[in-house]
Every structure is written in structure tokens, then in C-alpha cells.
């Protein structure tokens, strides 16, 4: 018997990396040298995060508990780096908005979708560490962290039906609908995972509801003048300030989760 649920999760995570490479090949990998540094940082750190999760899943199901614990401790230090990489994309979009044709239309709206996801990721990781002695909750929280990465991946693969773009007011309507379809796919996957294990799948339910809210932000908050002003303010901030703030949030999630999950002194160990 495996020590933890989701015994094939590592294969799905590795497949997600392959799908991401396919999705971003035309717009990123094929133009590697022209991409902004923020895209590079996010691509490297997000790939590292998925590999780390895959390693944790594989090690525990191979009963290599020592390796699993070592990777878990490494995640405490890597998660702030991962979150900083995610914030670098927001900063890159904010700075590219005045000149890049796509971001002139969608930069602020994408930030309204992706920006709040940083807080969702921090919450999921904090809960995963705090509940590390409850295998099912621990696994669900960690495996929910790749879900906010799905909308941009799915949106670049799923073809947009022509009927959806007919009469659209956006200059690049197909991209807008691809983002919506990607968000819908991520919400559906999170809802399915919750339905399979509702007793311990709260992280998937929270993720589904949060992603639904963020998708609404894409067409509401992201279109407001106040949000556009916030993006211009973000573009003026230094790299150290933005990435440092995200890393500090990640470090706070690591620390508070670790402290909350400590076994009380004198408490008996609970068998897995």
C-alpha cells in the first residue's frame, strides 16, 4: 500500500512539464534570446517547483521516506524562490504594457488573473506544511499548487472556436477567449479532484473557487482605470522590491506552516 494518496501524481506532473514546453514553444522557447528576464526566471523556477513536487510524490510512494523528508525541507527554502519567479512575470507584463501590442490590451487584465494567484499559492503551501502530519490534506495542498499554472498553458493549446470571437470588441479576441477557456479547464480539474476526495480535498475546492473569482477579475477588475494605475505603479518599482516582497511572502508561508505543524512536546507519534 502507498504511504500517501495520489500515487500517480508524479507522472502527471512530469506530463505537465512536457505540455508546458509544447504550449510555450512558439512564444517563448523558439524566441528564447528575445524573451524578458522575468519570463526566464518564472520558467526556470516553475519547472523546478514541478520537478520538486514530482520528486516528493515519487519518493514517498517508493517508501523512500528519508528522501521525501529531505525534499520537503528543501521546499521550505525553494518556495520563496518560486513565488519570486512568479512575481517577475507580473513585473515584466507591467513594464511591457506601454509598448507591447498584446500587453497593451491584456497586460492589466492578465495581472488581475495571475496576481492574486500568488496569495493562493502561499496559502496552499502554508497549509501543506502545517498539515504535513495529515498525509491526505498535505498531498492535496501541494498538488493544488500547479493548478494556477494551468490557464496560460491550456489557453495556448486549446483552439478557440470562431463563434466565440465573432463581434468581439477586443482587438485580439482569440487570446481573451483562450485565457477564459484555460481558466475554465483549471477550475474543472480542481473541482473533479475535490469531488473524488471531498473529505480531504478542501484545498482543491478552495482553489476552484479562487480561480473562478480570479477569472471574473480578468473581465472586471482588470478593465478598470484604478487597476491600470496600479500596473503603472508596479512598473516603476525596482526588481529587488517586487521580487523581495514575493519572496518574503513565500518565506512567511514556509515559517508559519512549519511552526503550525510542529508536534506538541510529549505527543505520541501518529502512524502513517
DSSP category for residue 100: -
**Residue 161 confidence (pLDDT):** 55
pLDDT band for 116, please (50, 70, 90 cuts). Answer: very high
- Going 37 to 83 to 213 to 220, the CA torsion angle's sign is negative
DSSP category for residue 160: P
Do residues 89 and 46 touch, judged by C-beta distance below 8 A? Answer: no
* pLDDT at 55 > cutoff 70: yes
**Residue 105 confidence (pLDDT):** 85
pLDDT band for 169, please (50, 70, 90 cuts). Answer: low
**Residue 271 confidence (pLDDT):** 46
* pLDDT at 270 > cutoff 50: no
Q: Rounded to an integer, what distance in angstroms lies between the CA atom of residue 134 and that of residue 264?
A: 15
The structure's pTM equals 0.89
> Which range has highest mean pLDDT (38-42, 130-134, 161-165, 259-263)?
130-134
The whole-chain average pLDDT of the chain stands at: 88
Q: Rounded to an integer, what distance in angstroms lies between the CA atom of residue 197 and that of residue 152?
A: 26
Q: Which pLDDT tens digit goes with each residue over 194-229?
A: 999 999 999 999 999 999 999 999 999 999 999 999
Closest by alpha carbon to 151, among 30, 57, 24?
Answer: 24
Higher pLDDT, 172 or 189: 189
By mean pLDDT, which of 31-35, 109-113, 121-125 is the weakest?
31-35
**Residue 102 confidence (pLDDT):** 79
Q: Rounded to an integer, what distance in angstroms lies between the CA atom of residue 70 and that of residue 73?
A: 5
Closest by alpha carbon to 222, among 98, 114, 96?
Answer: 114
Closest by alpha carbon to 180, among 167, 195, 194, 161?
Answer: 161
Q: Which pLDDT tens digit goes with each residue over 240-259?
A: 999 999 999 999 999 999 99
* pLDDT at 162 > cutoff 80: no
Q: Once rounded to an integer, what is the mean pLDDT over residues 150-167?
A: 67
At residue 4, the 3 state secondary structure works out as coil
> Which range has highest mean pLDDT (16-20, 23-27, 39-43, 50-54)?
50-54
H helices present in the chain, as ranges: 9-24, 37-61, 65-96, 101-130, 135-144, 150-155, 162-165, 173-196, 202-219, 225-235, 239-260
pLDDT band for 29, please (50, 70, 90 cuts). Answer: confident
**Residue 155 confidence (pLDDT):** 75
Burial (CB count within 10 angstroms: exposed 0-12, middle 13-18, buried 19+), residue 38: buried
Higher pLDDT, 153 or 143: 143
Q: Rounded to an integer, what distance in angstroms lies between the CA atom of residue 161 and that of residue 215?
A: 19
Q: Rounded to an integer, what distance in angstroms lies between the CA atom of residue 255 and that of residue 253?
A: 6
- Residue 67, C-beta contacts closer than 8 angstroms, at least 6 positions apart: 55, 59
* pLDDT at 3 > cutoff 60: no
Amino acid at each position: 500500500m502507498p504511504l500517501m494518496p495520489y500515487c500517480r501524481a508524479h507522472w502527471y506532473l512530469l506530463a505537465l512539464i512536457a505540455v508546458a514546453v509544447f504550449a510555450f514553444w512558439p512564444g517563448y522557447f523558439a524566441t528564447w534570446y528575445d524573451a524578458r528576464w522575468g519570463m526566464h526566471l518564472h520558467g526556470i523556477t516553475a519547472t523546478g517547483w514541478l520537478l520538486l513536487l514530482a520528486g516528493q510524490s515519487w519518493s514517498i510512494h517508493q517508501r523512500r521516506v528519508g528522501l521525501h523528508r529531505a525534499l520537503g525541507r528543501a521546499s521550505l527554502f525553494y518556495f520563496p524562490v518560486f513565488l519570486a519567479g512568479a512575481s517577475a512575470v507580473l513585473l515584466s507584463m507591467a513594464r511591457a504594457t506601454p509598448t507591447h501590442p498584446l500587453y497593451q490590451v491584456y497586460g492589466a487584465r492578465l495581472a488581475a488573473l495571475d496576481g492574486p494567484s500568488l496569495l493562493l499559492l502561499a496559502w496552499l503551501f502554508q497549509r501543506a506544511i502545517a498539515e504535513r502530519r495529515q498525509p491526505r490534506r498535505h498531498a492535496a495542498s501541494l498538488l493544488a499548487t500547479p493548478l494556477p499554472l494551468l490557464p496560460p498553458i491550456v489557453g495556448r493549446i486549446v483552439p478557440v472556436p470562431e463563434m466565440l470571437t465573432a463581434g468581439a470588441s477586443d482587438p485580439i479576441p482569440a487570446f481573451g477567449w483562450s485565457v477564459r477557456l484555460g481558466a475554465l479547464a483549471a477550475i474543472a480539474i480542481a473541482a473533479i479532484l475535490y469531488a473524488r476526495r471531498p473529505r480531504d480535498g478542501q484545498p482543491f475546492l478552495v482553489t476552484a473557487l479562487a480561480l473562478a473569482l480570479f477569472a471574473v477579475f480578468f473581465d472586471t477588475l482588470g478593465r478598470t482605470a484604478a487597476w491600470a494605475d496600479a500596473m503603472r505603479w508596479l512598473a516603476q518599482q525596482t526588481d529587488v522590491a517586487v521580487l523581495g516582497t514575493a519572496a518574503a511572502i513565500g518565506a512567511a508561508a514556509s515559517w508559519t506552516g512549519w511552526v503550525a505543524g510542529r508536534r506538541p512536546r510529549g505527543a505520541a507519534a501518529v502512524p502513517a
